[in-house]
Amino acid sequence: MFKQMFKKIFKKKKLPSEERHFVRHPTNIPIEIIQTTNSVQTTNFVQTTNSAQTTNSARTTNSVTNKEYLNNVSLGGLAFQSDILLEKGSLITIRVLVDSPIELTGKVTWCKQCEKHFEIGVKFTGDNKLLRDDMVEEVCQIEMYRKMINTLVADVLYEQWEEYVP
């Protein structure tokens, strides 16, 4: 009994980083978030000849698309900021806006309000692991090229600045 109490009291708490299975890669690449909702519209009417009541229903699909920017991406999911609240558990489609847009599906795993926007975490769903791997690799390459270009531009600007400074 003492041993169980000791374990409860001194149980090691997991840090958020220990719960992650994949490495996060920071980025700010544009994405589109597509929310699709299905609704059923039902119409009731009474036929006068047979006095029978008939119900007609029609299924409609509505989708809303928002343009956002990634905060980070991993092989397991992604995070982004949005002005729109997304409910935890919502299924969404993510279109990563690169040269050949990549479309993935995901499930909202968390949504936190931060001042005037929401931070949203999404876990990838579906079986297309190869597509996810390709997307993460492409995002990482884009970020690598961005850093390289920023360094080159900074070097050129510094050289030009040195020419004008006595």
* pLDDT tens digits in sequence order for the chain, 166 residues long: 444 544 444 444 444 444 567 878 888 889 999 987 654 444 444 444 444 454 555 555 567 888 999 999 988 899 999 999 999 999 999 998 888 888 989 999 999 998 899 999 999 998 777 788 888 888 888 888 888 888 889 888 888 888 877 6
* The architecture CATH gives domain 18-151: Beta Barrel (2.40)
Token code pair at residue 52: 């029978």
Kindly list the domain boundaries of the chain, sorted by start residue: 18-151
For residue 138, what are the contacts with CB-CB under 8 A and spacing of at least 6?
Answer: 96, 98, 102
pTM over 0.85: no
